[in-house]
Structure 1
Amino acid sequence: MTHDEYDRASRALLQDYLLQASPEQRHIYVARRNYDDSAELLAWLAGRSELDRATALMMYWSLGAAWFTQYAADDYVPAHERDAHAIVRRIEQRYIDGFYAGRALAFDPGNWPGPSMGDHPGLVVRRAVPDAMLAAVAGERACDPFAEAVDADFDDGLPLPLALAAQLHDMAAAVQPDRGPALGDAVAGNVDIWAEVMPPTLSPLATVVDPGWPVLETFLRQAAPQECHQLMLFADTSALSDALQWLLDQPTLAASSALALYWNLGASWYVPFATIEDVPESHRYTAAVLRRIEQRLADGGYADHGLGFDLARNRPRFPACWPGREVLRAIPDPMWQPRTGQIVDESDEVDFITGLPEDIAEALANARG
């Protein structure tokens, strides 16, 4: 199976699910779906007239309607944002035209925990959001996609148990046979079933050519230990590789923060490789960084700051144990041990993708264009 074939097949599975899903299930899917890899599927769903009006409005804001107000015309939208921007514009027009027929659910874009008009107060508004998109939808019933019951019964917007997840994983394995075992609470511990099976990678430093580095460096030099810890727990490594490595080099970084990054980089994925040279080339650089974290923690090379880390409480993005992987180089015992101190939970005040404070994430995005 090729990557294109996988994309088509996985999209077809998800479309089949969404076609038979209830309004509440579709609402939960839109609220909790990973938007980074869903443009085509979201565009398809936004083109269904039976979609509930409340869900269409929630998708509109979740895709970044407030962020796009800074662009006076479509031509000014950066290339990497155009797919989401196009869906936002289509939803807006269809919504105003009365295209969406579903009227089951209620939704207030100004009173929910997701993206809203007030998210980017520093932006210059060059294209205002129409009044219709600011008004609450008075549906027949409420659906809170972030309720505790939803946390227990859904993952990444899809219902548990894992039948659909297993089908998607089997297709992914046909594209990349060494991706690893299927994930899920039943087989891999308390991990997200939709975590990428291949862990993320860090890249060699590129601060000189990154127009956003001055923004990051200024923030990092004055950031509180808790803010640095948030980055190690939640940062997108593809966007903040340099920042994470800069922090790892600081003697003031908390040991618990270094340990958090160690696990969130998927350290347990590397156990079948006895040496760094055995690691696939795509992950060799990251393997070397993980070894340096191990050594520096063993040498007491990090600070304390009263911060703790515990795998039983700090749910990593990637499993601590990958079932079925041969262990040729075990993770050192000290890396498993909890560290006492304040357990830092994910803050509602940070950008959910980067782990940066919202204003810093916005300034970084502006600097990078």
Structure 2
Amino acid sequence: MTEEQLEQQEWDIVRNYLVGATKAQRHIFAARANYDGNSEAFRWLVDSSETDQATALLLYWNLGAAWHVQFDSAEASSSPTTYQLLRLLEQRYKAGFYETASIYFDPHRGSGARPGDYPDIPVKLAIPDIMLRPVEGSEHVAIEGDPEGFDEGLPFDIAETIYALYR
């Protein structure tokens, strides 16, 4: 099997998981998945109106919103695809695309990326105020470390299925 076929099978497994996952499970995935190898999954979450506002906001910060303020265009960015995804997240978040806010998330707290991560870089494109505010959902989802039963944001059985592809 080619590397491309393996990657496609892996994405199929992850996508099938996300389709049936709860909002909390999607939030754990967004918080704990490897950001270098899951661009399709993150794009899927950004494109789904069923993604909780807290998860969309968490993705925004973990994708490097604080780093990308130094760029005023995708062409100037160190990662044009990520830059464009951040702008899309902002647009959809402000427009109310992510309808539910059942999960609590404060971008200023926790172990992930935060607004103050790069205080010394010049700001060419400011973060919209709405992206700095906590989501006051009532459900608290444990995302510190790998939550029990999860590995890199996926339940053990799903992660094992993916690992088995590469053996």
TM range (shorter): over 0.9
In the alignment, what sits opposite 2:87? 89
Q: Distance in 2 between matches of 1:27 and 1:142?
A: 10
Q: Distance in 2 between matches of 1:167 and 1:109?
A: 32
Q: Distance in 1 between matches of 2:39 and 2:122?
A: 26
2:161 paired residue among 156, 161, 167: 167
In the alignment, what sits opposite 2:142? 144
Alpha-carbon spacing, 1:111–1:166, altered in 2? closer, same or farther (3 Å): closer
Residue correspondence of structure 1 range 324-363 to structure 2 within 5 A: none
In the alignment, what sits opposite 1:3? 3
In the alignment, what sits opposite 1:61? 61
1:94 alignment partner AA: R
In the alignment, what sits opposite 2:33? 33
Per-residue displacement from partner, 1:108-167 (whole Å, max 9, x unpaired)?
11122211111001100010000110011111221121168x1x321101122xx32332
SS at match of 1:75: coil
SS at match of 1:11: helix
In the alignment, what sits opposite 2:71? 71
Runs of 4+ with deviation above 6 angstroms: none
8 Å contact 2:110–2:144 — kept in the other structure?
A: no
Residue correspondence of structure 1 range 232-271 to structure 2 within 5 A: none
Structure 2 unmatched ranges of 5 or more: none
2:152 paired residue among 149, 156, 175: 156
Q: Count how many residue pairs are aligned between Structure 1 and Structure 2.
A: 167
Q: Distance in 2 between matches of 1:154 and 1:165?
A: 8
TM-score, structure 1 as length reference: 0.44
Q: Distance in 1 between matches of 2:12 and 2:82?
A: 20
8 Å contact 1:72–1:127 — kept in the other structure?
A: yes
Q: Distance in 2 between matches of 1:106 and 1:42?
A: 19
2:159 alignment partner AA: A
Structure 1 unmatched ranges of 5 or more: 174-369
TM-score, structure 2 as length reference: 0.93
Q: Distance in 2 between matches of 1:58 and 1:44?
A: 15
8 Å contact 1:71–1:127 — kept in the other structure?
A: yes
The Cα RMSD (Å) is: 1.5
Q: Distance in 2 between matches of 1:164 and 1:113?
A: 24
8 Å contact 1:106–1:141 — kept in the other structure?
A: yes
8 Å contact 2:94–2:130 — kept in the other structure?
A: yes
SS at match of 2:69: helix
Residue correspondence of structure 1 range 120-199 to structure 2 within 5 A: 120-146=118-144, 150=147, 152-160=148-156, 163-173=157-167
8 Å contact 1:39–1:83 — kept in the other structure?
A: no
Residue correspondence of structure 1 range 196-211 to structure 2 within 5 A: none
2:103 alignment partner AA: L
Identity in percent: 37
Q: Distance in 2 between matches of 1:74 and 1:83?
A: 7
SS at match of 1:169: helix
What is the Cα deviation at residue 40 of structure 1? 1.7
What is the Cα deviation at residue 68 of structure 1? 0.1
1:142 alignment partner AA: H
SS at match of 2:133: coil
Q: Distance in 2 between matches of 1:91 and 1:134?
A: 13
Alpha-carbon spacing, 1:37–1:147, altered in 2? closer, same or farther (3 Å): closer
Q: Distance in 2 between matches of 1:16 and 1:2?
A: 21
2:165 alignment partner AA: M
SS at match of 2:49: coil
